[in-house]
Each structure stands twice: as C-alpha cells, then as structure tokens.
Amino acid sequence: MSTRAKPRRFYGVRWFVGCPQSGKSTLARELASRLHRERRVPVIVLDAQSVHNFAELPECKLEDVAATVWKHPRASVRVVPRDVDEVDRICRAVSAGGDVVLLVDEAHNWLSAQSGCSGELVRLMRTVQHARADLFLTTQHLTGDVHQGALSCTSELYVFRNTSPRVLQVLERDFGMDRAKIQALPQFKCFRKLLGFQG
C-alpha cells in the first residue's frame, strides 16, 4: 500500500509588467479565467481604473463581496476600491475565505509611497499558500511599484514591452533579461520568467 502524499496544490503570485496597452491586463484576465475554469474558483478583480478589460464582470460593492464570492452560488466580481483601506479589507477577506483568484490591476495604486501601501496586500503575497489564493498583479513599473518584499514572493513574472531605462536596468541586472528584446516586443507578446516553485 502506497503512503505517498497527495500532490500539493501550489498557489502563486504572478506579476505582469509592461507599458500601457502592451497587453498585460488582457493576459492577466485570460490566465485568471483559466484558473476559474480549471479550479472552479471565483475571481475578484480590484479594478483601480474601472477599465473595459473587466467590464464583463459585475461590479460589486465592498460590503457585498463576502456574500457574493464565498456564499452559494459563488460568483466572480469586480470591485473599484476608493482607497487603501478598502483594498486592505478585500485582502483580509481573501485571506479568511480562500479558494479564490485575486487580480489587482495597476497594483501601483496600492503599493506606492504616493498613494499609500497596502500592508494587507503585501501580507497576502507572503501567505498565498496558507490563504489558498492565487494573485495576479499588473503594473507599468517594476522599480518604484514593486518593492523587494513583494518581489520575493513572485512565482512568475510576465514582461511585456517596456522602454523605461530604470525598469530595463532592473530586468537586465536582477533577472538576466535582454533589454533590447524587451524594448522590441510587439503588442500582446511577452517573456515569461519562472521564479518560484510550480505546481
């Protein structure tokens, strides 16, 4: 009789980095939808800009998220947070409820010194395995928006076209990526860098 343990499901933090209109939100949405179908889990989109990429999802008020996402029947929703406090509340709900995909579009809105940093979002990145949650985060800048505490939790990095010298320097120096190839990427094409353990 075999005593082998059941394969462990890996949850991850995936960053999608690139200039505007490069395709990062589109790919994040597609991959989140794939997990939704494969794992039969709902998706919560934090839509800072209220963009058309997520218009097919019903907008949900913050106070209704728990009842909509974690009660039967479970449903995917889009939330447009007003401030960091609301993002923190969503992240605490994700940590408590689990079995969900959280997509944070334009994550720099909640992780920068200018707009205020969501400590709960960073904490969730560090504990996705315990929370049983997958995180998808998009941003235009890898440098100012993504601090080391968040980057250290990343399992996959999707790099779209970028022309910022500072971002290109980080990608080349820290991730061994070719800046000329990144600058030449066509729309909707990206490089995928695996950084963590994979399920």
Distance CA 198, CA 194 (A): 8
CATH number 3.40.50.300 given to 13-194: yes
pTM of the model: 0.90
d(C-alpha 91, C-alpha 102), whole Å: 9
Q: What is the mean pLDDT of residues 4-10?
A: 62
Q: What is the pLDDT of residue 65?
A: 93
User: What's the whole-number mean pLDDT along residues 47-52?
Assistant: 76
Pairing of strands 156-159, 191-194: antiparallel
The answer to whether the CB of 122 falls within 8 A of the CB of 110 is no
Joined tokens for residue 82 = 């007003």
Q: For 52-85, how does the pLDDT look when each residue is reduced to its tens digit (9 = 90+)?
A: 778 889 999 999 999 999 988 889 999 999 998 9
Amino acid sitting at position 116: G
pLDDT over 60 (residue 163)? yes
Given a cut of 90, is residue 15 above it in pLDDT? yes
Average pLDDT over residues 170-186: 94
Residue pLDDT, tens place only, 128-158: 999 999 999 999 877 766 667 777 888 999 9
pLDDT of residue 101: 97
- The pLDDT of residue 193 is above 90: yes
Domain boundaries, the chain: 13-194
Give the CB-side neighbour count of residue 65, counting CA atoms within 13 A.
25
**Chain mean position to CA 53:** 15
**How far apart (Å, rounded) are the C-alpha atoms in residues 156 and 125?**
13
Segment 18-41 mean pLDDT: 94
Residue 150, pLDDT score = 73
Identify the weakest region by mean pLDDT among 87-91, 155-159, 194-198: 194-198
Average pLDDT value for residue range 16-24: 94
Using the predicted structure, report yes or no on whether residue 160 has a pLDDT greater than 90.
yes
